[in-house]
Amino acid sequence: MSLGLTLDDLSRLDRIDAAMKAQDVRGQFAPLGMKEVLIAEDVVAALPAVLARHLGRFGEVRVVVDPVLIRRGGRDFKADVIAALQGHRVTRVTLDDGSEVLHADEPILAEAAQRVQGADAIVSVGGGTITDIAKVASVRAGVPVLVAIQTAASVDGFTDNFSVVLQNGVKKTTLTRWPDAVLADVRTIAEAPPRMTAAGMGEMMSMFCAPGDWYLAAQMGVDSSFTPVLLELLGICGEGIEDWSRGLGHGLASAEALTRALSLRGIVTGTGGTTATLSGMEHLFSHMLDMVASRRHTAMSQHGAQVGVGSVIASAAWDVFCARMEETPLTAADLAFDLEVRVAEAQAAFSVLDPSGAIGAECAGRYRTKLAALQANWPKVEAFFADWPAHRRSHDALVFTTPKIADYLARAGSARRFDALIPAPDEDLTRWVIACCPFMRERLTVADLLHLAGWLDDVGVGRILARVDQVLGA
């Protein structure tokens, strides 16, 4: 089975859409609703023509931005975007919640939707959060055309039909819409603060560990979306990474390569109809930290940077699981559990964070879904452990080793250990996040296997962190 695609097909989205349709044996893929992706040194020059293609006339355009000044060649990039929209009736919608980094929470989403009301088109300019907000606002206000101008390659959420929003203080991925066009300005991306690109590399690393969790969830009967075609498409995202990852932070070529890889990742998520391909335990680490920051009203660290650190932890968690399976081999019976006891445990885990119990209830509800699916598919769990060596090999074929993930992060100057994040969680919080991450949502990861095996207690978490330090020290 071959898709016959390359990264160059990003400029021919119809080819990607057709290839996905041809391979969609189970009818699980979503149509690719985005019409164009332009990754170029100067996208402002192309903007008038792009908007004309999707809008068909001059109209009412809202430019959705946050207050951050973005420079390109020393100029105010957002002002240049607005200047390029000559002929349209243009209103700048600056969203500001007073924090250093804008949050996609309900008050901001409501404000955005209200302020784009009546527009013919939205042009968003900025990073992942502003793009996600623009998608939501476009859907809520019924604005037909959305053009997203990408100014950083720190996440992969531009080229998909999802938005990551905060709901009751918990980060949640919701289905929203595809932008009609994504214009990634490579010069702006290359000139962005180095931490942005470093975060993008962190986000990239989920590609080399999350498919392992996705495989586990499929084998245990908890996830029915597992399909090799999406993994093949992911393989295309990784084309040339061995070479371009060495040049990150130096010039346009590697910035463009990272942007292209992240763009295709977004399409894999959007057309695949699931974020599971690229979001396993490493993303749980990031989402849990965000949830804590949101509750405590402290600054969030960059998503991609957290995902990079989480990738090292998730990979180390798998190493520890494999090591312990050799020390004390398990059967499914060793993981058997009482559903109500476990759900109560999940609920209680969040009481330190939110005494009102709201976050605990939200997470415990999702956790219940996962455990109920696991119990309903118990013969699959038994089969998994009965054939452990083969499943371990299949898993390992989908992921990088922990040292390799750490090496790629080092090339991009990305954070590899929790204490390199800005702001950094302390070790106690890091341990709490690792121990409680299985409780956060319905997606099964290696953290669930560790937890149900009794291997995610203090000692177990200590072993994972020791494995991280062993790899980083080597």
Positions touching Zn ion (CB under 5 A) are 203
Establish how many alpha carbons lie within 13 A of residue 369's alpha carbon, considering only the half-sphere containing its beta carbon: 12
Are residues 181 and 217 in contact, defined by beta-carbon separation less than 8 angstroms?
A: no
**Partners of 175 in the beta sheet?**
162
Report the C-alpha gap between 305 and 195 in whole angstroms: 8
State in angstroms the smallest separation of the CB of 300 from Zn ion: 13
Among 53, 3, 16, 31, CA closest to 183: 53
The count of other CB atoms within 10 Å of the CB of residue 411 is: 18
Q: DSSP letters along 90-150, please?
A: EEEEE---SSSS----HHHHHHHHHHTTT-SEEEEEESHHHHHHHHHHHHHHT--EEEEEE
User: Which residue, 66 or 203, has its beta carbon nearer to Zn ion?
Assistant: 203
Task: Please report how the helices 252-272 and 13-22 are oriented relative to each other, as an axis angle in degrees rounded to 10.
Answer: 40
User: Which residue, 203 or 223, has its beta carbon nearer to Zn ion?
Assistant: 203
Report the C-alpha gap between 262 and 200 in whole angstroms: 8
User: Which residue, 85 or 300, has its beta carbon nearer to Zn ion?
Assistant: 300
User: Which residue, 185 or 203, has its beta carbon nearer to Zn ion?
Assistant: 203
State in angstroms the smallest separation of the CB of 92 from Zn ion: 28
State in angstroms the smallest separation of the CB of 164 from Zn ion: 8
State in angstroms the smallest separation of the CB of 289 from Zn ion: 13
State in angstroms the smallest separation of the CB of 173 from Zn ion: 9
Exposed/middle/buried for 181, CB within 10 Å: 0-12, 13-18, 19+? buried
State in angstroms the smallest separation of the CB of 69 from Zn ion: 25
User: Which residue, 203 or 362, has its beta carbon nearer to Zn ion?
Assistant: 203
Check residue 308 and give left, alpha or beta (phi > 0: left; psi -120 to 50: alpha): alpha
User: Which residue, 157 or 360, has its beta carbon nearer to Zn ion?
Assistant: 157
State in angstroms the smallest separation of the CB of 288 from Zn ion: 13
**Partners of 75 in the beta sheet?**
72
State in angstroms the smallest separation of the CB of 239 from Zn ion: 20
State in angstroms the smallest separation of the CB of 311 from Zn ion: 10
State in angstroms the smallest separation of the CB of 203 from Zn ion: 5
Report the C-alpha gap between 326 and 314 in whole angstroms: 19
User: Which residue, 254 or 311, has its beta carbon nearer to Zn ion?
Assistant: 311
The residues, ordered by sequence, that sit 6+ positions from 335 with a Cβ below 8 Å of its Cβ are 381, 385, 449, 452, 453
State in angstroms the smallest separation of the CB of 293 from Zn ion: 16
The count of other CB atoms within 10 Å of the CB of residue 24 is: 16
User: How many angstroms separate the Cα of 264 from the Cα of each of 6, 106, 152, 232, 255?
Assistant: 10, 29, 15, 12, 14
Exposed/middle/buried for 25, CB within 10 Å: 0-12, 13-18, 19+? exposed
User: Which residue, 151 or 311, has its beta carbon nearer to Zn ion?
Assistant: 311
User: Which residue, 148 or 364, has its beta carbon nearer to Zn ion?
Assistant: 148
Residue nearest to Zn ion (CB): 203
Are residues 289 and 425 in contact, defined by beta-carbon separation less than 8 angstroms?
A: yes
User: Which residue, 119 or 278, has its beta carbon nearer to Zn ion?
Assistant: 278
State in angstroms the smallest separation of the CB of 281 from Zn ion: 13
User: Which residue, 151 or 306, has its beta carbon nearer to Zn ion?
Assistant: 306
User: Which residue, 272 or 360, has its beta carbon nearer to Zn ion?
Assistant: 272
Tokens of 56: 């068909």
User: Which residue, 384 or 418, has its beta carbon nearer to Zn ion?
Assistant: 418
Question: Which amino acid appears at position 99 of this protein?
Answer: S
3-state SS, residue 387: coil
Report the C-alpha gap between 85 and 147 in whole angstroms: 12
Are residues 184 and 153 in contact, defined by beta-carbon separation less than 8 angstroms?
A: yes
State in angstroms the smallest separation of the CB of 303 from Zn ion: 6
